[in-house]
Every structure is written in C-alpha cells, then in structure tokens.
Amino acid sequence: MADLPGHTTEFQNVTMRNLLSNSRVLKLATLCLLLSSATAIAQRDIEFHNDIVPLFTRFGCNAGACHGAAVGRGDFKLSLFGSDPDSDYDSVVRHLRGRRINIATPEESLLLLKPTEQVAHGGGTRFDIDSDPVSLITEWIRNGALHTTSRQFTGILVTPTTYYAKTVGDTTAVKVTATYSDGSKRDVTSSTVLIAEDNTGVDIHNESATIQAKRRGRHIVIARYLTEVHPIEVIVPLTDARLRRSKSISSNFIDEQIQSRLKQLRLQASPQISDELYLRRATLDLTGRLPTAESLSQFVADDATDKRALLIQSLLESDGYVEYWTFKLAKLLRLRTQQHDQEGASVYNEWISEQLRNDAGYDEISRSLLVAEGDAHSNGPANFWRTTRTARDQAELASEIFMGSRLRCANCHNHPLDRWTQDDYHGLAAIFAKVEQGVIVQTKPNGRVIHPKYLEPAQPKVPGAQFVDDSDSNARMQFAQWLTDPNNPYFSKAIVNRIWKQLMGKGLVEPVDDFRSTNPATHPVLLDLLAKDFVDSGFSIKHTIRRITESAAYARSADAIEANKFDDKYYSHAIKMPLEAEVLADAIADVTGIHEQYGEQPVGTRAISLLDPAVPSRTLQVLGRCDRSDSCESTADAIDGLSQKLHQFNGAMINGRISAPNSRLTQYMRAGKPALEIIETFYQVGLSRSMNDIERSYWKKLTVDLDTKVDTEHFLQDFVWSLLSSKEFGTKH
C-alpha cells in the first residue's frame, strides 16, 4: 500500500518537510484562500480526463515547449496537448512513486506548488494560488486523485465560427461547449486556449475568451480544448469604402463564390484582361510556353464571341498540353532517374504522358500508382515505389500528394493541429512496408515498421479509418479504394487545389500539402464545389482546367486598383507569378532563337521535357530549378527573387545568345528589317503584345538617331537584353 497515491510514503514526507521548512506561513495562507473555492467545488465529480487535463493545455503545461515535449521537461512528461490522458495520469499520480501529489495534504502537492511557484519552477507561474484551476486540482487530489470517467468526451461546439467585424478594434466573445457520450454538454470556455494564427492580425485575451481585430483582412484563430481544435474566422473589411455598384461578370459557380468573398471584404474587382494577355496567360498555363507572333495576330483578329473557349479547347487537345502537364505531374510525383536508371524514368514519364493524352481519370491514375507491381523498366507506375527509401518516407509522400495532408507531423506524437494520430502515420507506413522497392516491385509479406510508442510492429491502418489485417496482402488496394472513393474528404480537394494554384497563382488552401481544419480554405464552399464538379466529371483534370479558365476570375487583370491594392489572396485581381525555371529557360530560348543543349540531349530539347532534373545546366541552376529530391511546392517562389536570377543569368549566357550568328536578332538585322519593326516583333514574341502608343513613340525617337549599322546592332542587343530582364517577360500576369 505504501506506493499507492492515497498513502503518503516516508519518501514523500521527507521531501515535503525539506521543501516547506521555510514556507509554513505561505502554506497556511494558501490553505485559507482555497477554502472558499473548495466549498464551491465540493460534492462535484471531478474527472482527470475531462477536468484536469484541459488545464494542462489551457496553461501551456503540455505544450511542445514544456512538459509536452517528446522527452518531457524536468523529468516530468505529459502527452502533447493531452492526446494520451492515460499516460498523463501515470505521470502525475504514479511516476516517481507518486511524489507529485499528496492526498493527505493536497495543498502540499508538487502538482500545485510548482505551477504556483511556491517551489522553484522553470516554467514560471502558471496558476495564481487563489485561482479556480488550483481549487479544482486541490479538490481532485482531496477526493483521491481518481481516474474514473463517467462519460467520454466527443467534441466541442464553438461560437462564433465566423466573426464579421465592422472595423479594426471590434471585439467578440467566444463560447466553447464540450459534448459527451451521454448526451450532456458543458461550458468549457475557461479551459479552452485561443491561439492566433497571426498575432499581428488579432489580439487574444484568453482570460475573458475574447478576440479583438487589429488589422484588416481575414484572420484565423484556433480554439483548442483537449485534443479538439476548431478554427474561428475573423473578417475585417479591407476598405471602408462602399462598393461601387457595377454589373458583376459571372460565368459559373466560381465567380459567384469569389464575388461573395469580395463583397464581404469590400473589395472591387479589377477589369478583365485584353485578348493579347489572355492568350499569353492561357498558353503559358496550359502548355508552358509563350504564344507565337502568328497565333497572337490570328487570335486578336478573330471576331468570334467564343474564341477564348475555343482557344482553351485547342490548347487542351495539343501536344503542348500533354508535354507541360506531364512535367507538372512529374514534379508532383518527384519523378527523377534512380541510380542513373534512365530506362525506368523514361517508361514512367511516358506512362504519365499517355494518361494525360487520354484524359484518364485522376482516380484511376492514382490507384495505378498505389497498387503497381512488376518490372519498373516496363511498367511505368511501378517506379512510384522507387521514389523514396523507406516505408515511412513513402507514407509521407503519399499523404502529401494524394491527400494534401502532412501525415509526417504524426510520427513522434499525434498531429497537434489535425486529426492524425501516430497509429495513422505508422499504420500507413506498415502498409507500405510490405512493398519490395527496386527494379522489380513486389509484395514483401514480412515487411514491417516499429511503432515508437509501443516498440512493436505497427498494425497496418488506413489513415483516419480502419485497421487492416496484418496478413492481408491486399492492404494497398484497400488504401487506394478508400482514397479514391468519391466521398473521400481529401483526395479530390487536394488535386483541384493544386490545379487552382497553377492557374490562379495561389491555392485556396496554402500550403497545398497542408490541408487541416485549422488551416481552412479562403473560399471553403468554392473548394467543395470544385471537388464535387471534379468527381462528377470522372476525375478529369482537363475538365477542371476548362472550368477554371472559363471563369471571369481567371481573366481578371493582374494590375491592382485603388479599391483592391491590399488584396493578395482573394482574387480581386490576378496574382503575378514568376515563371518556373524550366518554362523561363524555354521562353528565353524561343525569344532569342538559340537553344541550350542539355547533357547529351539533342539541341532544341525543351527544358520541361528533361527526364533528369539533375542534368548539368548552368541556366537551370541559376534560374532555380527544383531537383525533385523533395517537394517542389514551395510557397517561397515570388517575384522578389526574379530580378536577381535574371541579373545573374543575363551575363555572358544571355549576351552570347542575343549576338549569336543564328539568333533571332541577328537574322532580322541580316534581312534588313528596320529597327522599329524588330522592336515590335520582339514585343510580340517576348511579351505577347504590341507596343502601345507611348512605347512606340519612345522607341521611334531613339531609333531615328542611330547613325551606323554598328550603333543599331548594339542598341538592339541592349533592347533585347532589357526585355529579357524585365518582370513583364519573366512573370505570368
């Protein structure tokens, strides 16, 4: 009986005498202060799981920076954010022979003395000695520090879920209600932690459970109680101006949802772009290259009212679409040569091309990858299993690609901001551990991974769903069928969000591989509608591209106006994006007329067609290509770094191309074209537009003063150099 928490051991008595020898007066004062609170709590059934653990979360005791760290802190370990109450109970009540609690004299328990700093505590003061949390913990200890639970916690209800502030400075109160298995409910607001995603956007006052808007825009506040996390959306109009009444352009459900959000934020939409810019934007998005001067003149001259829709259809049916979107999927799947195995990479790349050419459903593509077996030199999708080295890496890759979720955050502990558990992470890894990776991909019946929590082989498990029989050789198929089910909450949203980002510049969820309830979409209804539309189309990538490009939102100008200049995520104007390294390299080659030779590939091979992203190329290196050893979906890509890249590139590498004997410029000069006509042509092939009146007048004035052929040559070389260095050339806008 000496080791049970209800019986004070000699070890505890000695420890307490040493700790309190100089604090008798403080102890008596604490006891007096607790009496009134204890009376209020008396006769109440206090449960460790539902009452005590939430306090550890509310006051930061079980956070990653404190006792919730992987190894704990100060020889005291709690599960991260209370994810494992049973182990927490052992740590509090049983660890070190129960020295943290004193049932005989609850006020002398280390569990109280430390956080109230009556005894030195590295974490500082967490509770005031006369606070409700101290009263609650004291009464729980006095009642025997029991671990009985009469009801199971099932979730929380948070109000409001969205708060529309009229202006900066407005405040709202939050209420959180816990629900339980017996149907009961309880107000747990005081035990809930409110966390701002961005502290510069809102002020959080946890004592009063209030949120105050500090900055205009949309902000996310996370409410955490036990293992439940719920987002609260705070919206403050970006301007005080009344929206100008104008006829909104709406082509489909996309525009309805975009316009609804713009109205909430009082944002005016920028105007639609010209035919020239639409042609450039669509051709870059769908084929990864600039339109030719001939296609530009034909498109502008076309009077058909549906010519933009016909353009999209033509691009989707082109070889350029297949080539570019093969490149996009290859980057997503991290396709690269494995141990100099060009054959496997080539077969894999060709298989992807064939799927896109036939508009195969993305569900079918994904299932083929996940269940593939056989010779990787003849079966393209089998190479998917050669992408990573371990089953855990493969689980992380699959969850990020197909679910848009960072399952890797549940490796060492349950995901702190999502539903994923260690069982989900290691369970999926256990499914993949049964795959023999190599040139021959086959089932490995004895494959396994060790679960770090139990130090035993992890049981195969579909994430968030059922466990799988360890002897079932069909586990990969079970995962693939669950994943690609039309009702799966992750699969369709993950891919349409990536397509949206490619076309619109920013995902509805950012980062695109971080879907979770605490990272909600900027337009959640729109994301749902896009996903449903995608499923209804037979999981057609082409269909979703067509749906987005036919919207008015897609055809919006990238130039902000006064009424939307602060918007960077709600699509009141298009988002300018730097061209990918390979696309930019191909564009430079097309404009100059001089193509780089990549390794042993024939001259004229496009950069987006390279199987090996590590092929030596100074051009691609300077322009910042992704080597696909990790994710290429960085949100850090921005126009800010474009000028520096172009400056580095535009040294000898670009000057040599401009002045080469067979360059576009040299051929034009050799043919005797007038300088102003050459400039106009470069505007068309490089910027996909004609000069405006101001530009034409400017260049005309400069060219009339050129005296010699040498002067003209040097002047035009400088002009082409400046065009290739411009942000207008190097961005999609």
DSSP 167-195: STT-EEE-EEEEEETTS-EEE-GGGPEEE
Residue 610 burial by CB count (10 A; 0-12/13-18/19+): exposed, middle or buried?
Answer: buried
What whole-number distance in Å separates Cα of residue 168 and Cα of residue 112?
A: 40
Edge-to-edge strand ranges of the sheet holding 185-187 = 153-159, 175-180, 185-187
Q: Which residue has the tokens 């042609």?
A: 279
Pairwise CA distance, residues 685 & 724, whole Å: 11
pLDDT value, residue 649: 62
Q: Which of 409-423, 489-503, 541-555 has the lowest mean pLDDT?
A: 409-423
Give the residue from 122, 128, 120, 180 showing the smallest Cα distance to 149: 180
Let me know how many helices (H) and strands (E) the chain has, helices first: 29, 17
pLDDT value, residue 641:
61
Residue 639 to residue 730: CA distance in whole angstroms: 9
731 three-state secondary structure: strand
**E strands in 393-526:** 435-436, 440-443, 450-451, 456-457
Kindly report, residue by residue over 482-491, the tens digit of the pLDDT: 999 999 999 9
Q: From CA 724, how far away is CA 657, in angstroms rounded?
A: 11
Q: Shortest CA distance to 217 belongs to which of 230, 245, 204, 198?
A: 198
The pLDDT score that the predictor gives to residue 200 is: 95
Rounded-to-integer distance, Cα 101 and Cα 113, Å: 10
Parts of the chain belonging to CATH 2.60.40.1080: 153-236
Which class for 170: exposed (0-12), middle (13-18), buried (19 or more C-beta within 10 A)?
Answer: middle
| CA neighbor of 533 nearest in space, from 550, 518, 519 | 550
Residue 4 has pLDDT above 50, yes or no: no
Beta bridge partners, 231, equal 222
Q: How far apart are CA 346 and CA 561, in angstroms?
A: 47
In degrees to the nearest 10, what's the CA dihedral of 519, 392, 615, 365?
-70
Please write the tens of the pLDDT for every residue from 271-315. 999 999 999 999 999 999 999 999 999 999 999 999 999 999 999
Contacts of 158 (CB under 8 A, 6+ apart): 174, 175, 176, 177, 223, 230, 232
Give the per-residue pLDDT at 697.
Answer: 96
CA dihedral sign, ordered 726, 730, 731, 733 = positive
Which residue bears the tokens 């539902």?
50
Q: Could you tell me if 54 and 82 are in contact, meaning their C-beta atoms sit under 8 angstroms apart?
A: yes
521 vs 570: CA distance, rounded Å: 11
* Cα 474 to Cα 480: distance, rounded to the nearest angstrom: 10
Residues 6+ apart with CB under 8 A from 319: none
Pair type for strands 450-451 and 162-164? unpaired
- Distance CA(290)–CA(591), nearest Å, equals 9
Mean pLDDT over 321-328 rounds to 98
pLDDT of residue 248: 59
User: Phi first, then psi: what are they for 401, rounded to 5°?
Assistant: -75, -55
Q: What is the pLDDT of residue 21?
A: 43
User: How does residue 529 score in pLDDT terms, banded at 50, 70 and 90?
Assistant: very high
pLDDT reading at 387 higher than 80: yes
pLDDT in tens, 645-660: 665 566 667 888 999 9
Task: Specify the pLDDT at position 640.
Answer: 55
Other CB atoms closer than 10 Å to residue 647's CB: what's the count?
Answer: 11
Nearest CA among 482, 443, 442, 478 for reference residue 460:
478
Band of residue 44 on the pLDDT scale cut at 50, 70, 90 = low
Q: Is the pLDDT of residue 116 over 50?
A: yes
Which of 18-27, 180-189, 563-572, 702-711 is predicted least confidently? 18-27
Residue 37 has pLDDT above 80, yes or no: no
Give the whole-angstrom CA distance, residue 192 versus residue 234.
Answer: 18
Q: Is the predicted pLDDT of residue 244 greater than 80, yes or no?
A: no
Torsion of CA 372, 374, 378, 381, to 10 degrees: 10
Q: How many CA atoms lie within 13 A of 48 on its CB side?
A: 19
CATH architecture of 153-236: Sandwich (2.60)
Confidence check: pLDDT of 639 > 90: no
| pLDDT score at 14 | 36
Separation of alpha carbons 200 and 473, rounded Å: 52
Q: Which amino acid is at 162?
A: T
Average pLDDT of the segment spanning 86-109: 89
From CA 530, how far away is CA 493, in angstroms rounded? Answer: 8
Tell me the longest C-alpha to C-alpha distance in the chain: 107
* pLDDT tens column, 568-584: 999 999 999 999 999 99
How would residue 190 be classed by pLDDT, with cut points 50, 70 and 90? Answer: very high
Q: Is 309 helix (H, G, I), strand (E, B) or coil?
A: helix
- One-letter amino acid at 337 equals T
Q: Determine the residue type at 323.
A: E
pLDDT at 590 over 60: yes
What is the pLDDT averaged over residues 680-690?
98
Which has more confidence, 577 or 63? Answer: 577
Under the banding of pLDDT at 50, 70 and 90, the label for residue 528 is very high
Question: How many residues belong to the chain?
Answer: 733
What are the beta bridge partners of residue 345?
none
Query: What's the chain's average pLDDT?
Result: 89
Strand order in the sheet with 440-443: 374-375, 440-443, 435-436
- For 466, the token pair is 């059922």
SS3 of the chain: helix, strand, coil, percent, to 5: 45, 10, 45
Please report the pLDDT score of residue 423 as a whole number.
95
Predicted confidence at residue 655, as pLDDT, reads: 87
Report whether the peptide linkage leading into residue 511 is cis, meaning its omega lies within 30 degrees of zero.
Answer: yes
Answer positive or negative: Cα dihedral of 435, 440, 445, 447.
Answer: negative
Which residue is listed with tokens 């537009």?
Answer: 689
Inter-residue contact 175 to 158 (CB < 8 Å): yes
Share of the chain above pLDDT 90, in %: 71
Q: What is the pLDDT of residues 412-449, one digit of tens each?
A: 888 888 889 999 999 999 999 999 989 999 999 899 99
Cβ atoms 731, 280 nearer than 8 A: no
DSSP type of residue 270: P
Report H helices in 485-523: 491-504
Contacts within 8 Å (CB) and 24+ apart, 350-355 = 350/380, 351/380, 351/381, 352/326, 352/380, 353/322, 353/323, 353/326
> How far apart, in whole angstroms, are the C-alpha atoms of residue 267 and residue 250?
16
Select the more confidently predicted residue: 260 or 453.
260
Lowest mean pLDDT among 41-50, 61-70, 120-129, 220-229: 41-50
How would residue 43 be classed by pLDDT, with cut points 50, 70 and 90?
very low
Q: Cα–Cα distance between 70 and 63 in angstroms, integer?
A: 10
Query: Cα(47)–Cα(28) distance, rounded to whole angstroms?
Result: 27
CA distance 123 to 126: 8
Task: Evaluate whether 96 touches 88 at the Cβ level (below 8 Å).
Answer: no
